[in-house]
Structure 1
Amino acid sequence: MSRHEPRKIAPAPPAILLYDAAGPNTQPWAPNIWRIRFILNYKRLRYRTIWVEFPDVETTIRSLGAPPSAVRNDGRPVYTLPVIIDPTKNPSAPQILSNTNTIAEYLESTYPARPVFPPGSRALQTLYVHYIQEVFVKPLLPIMVPLSHQRLPERIQSHFRTSDAPSPPGQYLPPGPQCEVAWTAVKEQFEFLANVLAKNTGDGDGVVAMGREVSYADFAVCSVLIWIERMAPKDGWLRVRSWNSGRWLQLWERCRPYMDEH
């Protein structure tokens, strides 16, 4: 090669595309999408984020050829984020996946290094995560959905006001007795989970679900903490971070190394 001939630069390997919900300043906030972001970061996989505003979610997902994330009782498909496109194994026929649990299973099976489901834990972690998304988070919804709605751009707020979106915003709870009652119900769920995690004290650190190392179960909880921290920093995070002797701030710190935002 001539010393004057420009050096050829090898093209970068393909990266996984993560379709995420655009929020304030395109900062990731949605808990179900953060669960996938945590896995990608923990496994040190190359990826980049494609931001999608809520009014464009269904059109975008359909255009990608991604399957619906769920089906309503009346048979109508539901299109929600996250979606990933993974061209790394076969660029000409990339994997296109939706539904948080489906994507998590795919990433664990396809990229087994640095597992988020340690051997023998998949069944118990699946039950744990089901509890987080179906029970633990329920008292938070009347508080966090309206607060999140208020922080989104006006175009997105208008979309929720005029559509039959799967999770339309409720009425904002102003400071006062009604709001405190709602937070009391939230605190009860956090206290129950803290008592469960405390059973690991001695043969574990009492902070993470699997004893000493973070796993998918912890990412599911920390995704909720990030939602509170980003969408209700004063209304909620100042409360939650001090509950149970600072246990939730400790969990947030344990997961912090995996909070990259590509």
Structure 2
Amino acid sequence: MSATKLILYDITSVLSDKAWSRNVWRVRYLLNIKGIQYQTRWLSHPEIEPELKRIGASPTSHWMLKAETYTLPVMYDASKKTVLSDSNTIAAYLEETFPETRSLRVAQSIEFVQSFGARLNESLFPLLVAPTAENLLPETRAAWRTKREKAYGTTLEAMAEPDTKRAELLKVVDDELSYRDVAIAATLINARRVGGADSDIWRALMEAHEGRWRELMSHFAQWEAVDVGIDSSCTGSTSS
């Protein structure tokens, strides 16, 4: 395992190990698959913007809020004093910076991942946005909900699509593990952790495409480790 210390910023929640964010799971899976040492720094939603500004992270575009905003994942590489925003940017950085680790063909997968993310978000996001609010820390839920309902022009619950739309997802066929598989697994684990393993949406996903996604998640179970990490109140300065 690499001795380089990386800090992965993630969004805390009421889940036992806190990790739920789809985009952060892309990076977490990559780090775990590659065997790169890292530590998670947990932030609540109100803490994200001030902390990212403090360390010099760049805002990224939010596809639903339709604006540049401070969001996660963000990664800090202490060895290079480098701050990176956006899961795809971080993925490319890990592939380039740690060439001795397992390659996930990030460069060859980015176009697919971007297209896949947009299409799958259209199918899953309306179904998961309300449960996502309930998984956040109780004291942060109201502000998170208000901001998004204002941007979307409707309540979170009203966004849910008919059940028949739940299976309208992108089929992927690729026998060699790559970043595209990571992106799919990250979306699926988000659905399981936010919606619940007993939910209709999770059962539909696991039955889709002749059980291919069930097999994918069974394979990715070995890379679902989440470190205890540290809360923002315990952090020191990471900026130069």
* Structure 2: distance between partners of 1:76 and 1:217: 25
Q: Which runs of 4+ in 1 moved over 3 A?
A: 161-170
Counting only pairs closer than 5 Å after superposition, residues 40-59 of structure 1 correspond to structure 2 as 40-59=31-50
What displacement does 1:259 show?
1.4
Deviations 1:159-190 (A, max 9, x none): 214446997794326xxxx96x533223021x
Q: Distance in 1 between matches of 2:67 and 2:208?
A: 41
Aligned length: 219
As a proportion of its length, which structure holds more strand?
2
Letter in 1 for 2:24: I
Q: Residue 60 of structure 2 corresponds to which residue in structure 1?
A: 69
Structure 1: any 5+ residue segments left out of the alignment?
A: 1-11, 198-208
Once the two structures are superposed, residues 91-136 of structure 1 have per-residue CA deviations (whole angstroms, 9 ceiling, x without a partner) of xxx111111111111111111221111xxx733x122101221112
**Partner in structure 2 of residue 131 of structure 1:** 115
Contact 2:23 2:87 in 1 (8 A): yes
Structure 2 unaligned regions, length at least 5: 228-240
Are residue 182 (structure 1) and residue 167 (structure 2) matched?
Answer: no
Amino acid at match of 2:193: R
Distance 2:190 2:7 in 1: 22
Structure 2: distance between partners of 1:183 and 1:60:
39
- TM-score, length-scaled by structure 2: 0.81
Q: Which has the higher contact order (CA 8 A, sep 6+)?
A: 2
Deviation at 1:222, TM superposition (A): 0.5
SS class of match (1:51): strand
Shift of 1:14: 5.0
What is the TM-score when the length of structure 1 is the normalising length? 0.75
Q: Does 1:106 align with 2:132?
A: no
Question: Do 2:145 and 2:156's aligned partners in 1 also have CA atoms closer than 8 Å?
Answer: no
Letter in 2 for 1:214: L
Identity %: 27
Q: Shift of residue 83 of structure 1? A: 0.7
Greater Rg by CA:
1
Q: Do the aligned partners of 1:145 and 1:170 also contact (CA within 8 Å) in 2?
A: no
Amino acid at match of 2:56: G
Letter in 2 for 1:107: L
Distance 2:204 2:179 in 1: 25
Match of 1:202?
Answer: none
In the alignment, the residues of structure 1 paired with residue 50 and residue 83 of structure 2 have an alpha-carbon distance, to the nearest angstrom, of 15
